Amino acid sequence: MVLTVQARRCLASVLALLAVSIVSAQTPVSGVDNASSQKPAAQRSTSDWLLRMHEASQRKAYIGTLVVSSGGSLASSRIWHVCDGVQQMERIESLSGPQRSTFRHNADVITFSPQSKIAVMETRESLGMFPGLLKSPGTGIDAFYTAHVVGAERVAGFDADVVQIEPKDTLRFSYQVWSEKKSGLMMRLQTLDEHKRVLEQVAFSELQLDAPVSMSKLTQLMHKTQDYRVERPEIIKTSADAEGWALKKPVAGFVPMSCHRRPAQEAQSASGAALQWIFSDGLATVSLFIEDFAVGRHGPEGLRVMGATHTLSRRVPDKAGGWWLTVVGEVPAQTLQAFAQALERRK
């Protein structure tokens, strides 16, 4: 599986936003414990801070310009976001690279490419276990990260707390988050390596909170597919066990979130992956892509790095020809190695 520069930029943007606001699209605001918002900043745990950001993403409507810096590349997007506590609606317009518009209504996503006149419609399963990951005793995010306030700064005209999130092991990166003081909304996010060097940054360069974003208007725009060829990639929900795969031992802190399979005829033209198995620790996400090995189609084994995103590719031998494994995540290389070494075929 080869990711283009544009795909990497989109991935960086999506993962950075998910890091602070992964929620089930159908989870109402009342389902979030807002006690974390009432605690003094100095007393908040990692889960308290992230739940506060989660709550802010559920309550706030905003319009802003988001800039992503990754691996020496810059990309920017214009975002419209509105949520009434149950329904979420977003519009994302790329401001750099190929023209592209993405709309999301809860789990339904459609991406318009004006140059090719193609609209891709998908239903994306949300990583809705996020609040559970934070709160589970012994296995929640506080078991693997610590958080503390290191200062206060202004971002896009708003006062923000600067929160340092540190891992308790070497399987995760550090993060520095700028959280708007009043609402808790994430304004800026940096991913840092073990030497505190910035690998990737996502930040609002301009933001209008409590903006007059109309959900009905965005819904109308989302369904204007005339003059576009609409494609609906077939993605089948499955489980690793049903597909004959397992981990010999878990990678500490990472919980399986979802597993999907593409029909074989679509695998090469789509992502090159027949199976995608997703894990998360509540902040970082790792995907295992597994497909049949094919001589000539798969390149050399090895590690590739783009900002905070690491990609490990290797062949999994088998009597029948084997499989090609690609492990992708915003985690250190040794975490990808741990997943690759633990993966085993059971049937």
Long-range contacts of range 145-154, CB-CB < 8 Å, 24 or more positions apart?
A: 145/46, 145/172, 145/283, 146/46, 147/44, 147/45, 147/46, 147/48, 147/49, 148/42, 149/41, 149/42, 150/176, 152/181, 153/178
Per-residue pLDDT of the chain (347 residues; tens, 9 = 90+): 333 333 333 333 333 343 333 333 333 333 334 555 567 777 888 888 888 887 887 778 899 999 999 888 899 999 999 987 778 899 999 999 999 999 999 889 999 999 999 999 988 765 443 444 454 444 578 889 999 999 999 999 999 999 999 999 999 999 999 999 999 999 999 999 999 999 999 999 999 998 999 999 999 999 999 999 999 988 889 999 999 999 999 999 999 988 998 765 444 433 445 899 999 988 899 999 999 887 777 778 899 999 999 999 998 887 777 889 999 999 999 999 999 999 999 87
Tokens in use for 81?
A: 């976001």
Q: Distance (Å, rounded) from C-alpha 37 to C-alpha 179?
A: 12
Tokens in use for 66?
A: 């988001």
Tokens in use for 101?
A: 């518009």
Domain 5-230 is classified in which CATH homologous superfamily? Lipoprotein localisation LolA/LolB/LppX (2.50.20.10)
Beta strands 62-70 and 285-292 are: unpaired
The pLDDT of residue 273 = 55
Tokens in use for 209?
A: 């909170």
**Among the listed residues 75, 95, 98, the one whose alpha carbon sits nearest the alpha carbon of residue 14:** 75
Domain 234-345 is classified in which CATH homologous superfamily? MucB/RseB, C-terminal domain (3.30.200.100)
Provide the whole-model pTM: 0.83
Q: Distance (Å, rounded) from C-alpha 173 to C-alpha 192?
A: 6
Is residue 79 a contact partner of residue 60, using CB atoms and an 8 Å limit? no
The pLDDT of residue 249 = 95
pLDDT digits (tens, 9 = 90+) for 161-184: 999 999 999 999 999 999 999 999
Residues forming CATH 3.30.200.100 domain(s) in the chain = 234-345
- Tracing tokens 């990472």 back to the chain, one arrives at 254
Q: Distance (Å, rounded) from C-alpha 119 to C-alpha 223?
A: 10
Q: What is the DSSP letter of 171?
A: S
Residues forming CATH 2.50.20.10 domain(s) in the chain = 5-230
| Contacts with 291 (C-beta within 8 Å, 6 or more apart), sequence order | 1, 267, 272, 273, 274, 275, 323, 324
Q: How many residues are listed for the chain in this entry? A: 347
Question: % helix / strand / coil in the chain, to the nearest 5?
Answer: 20, 40, 35
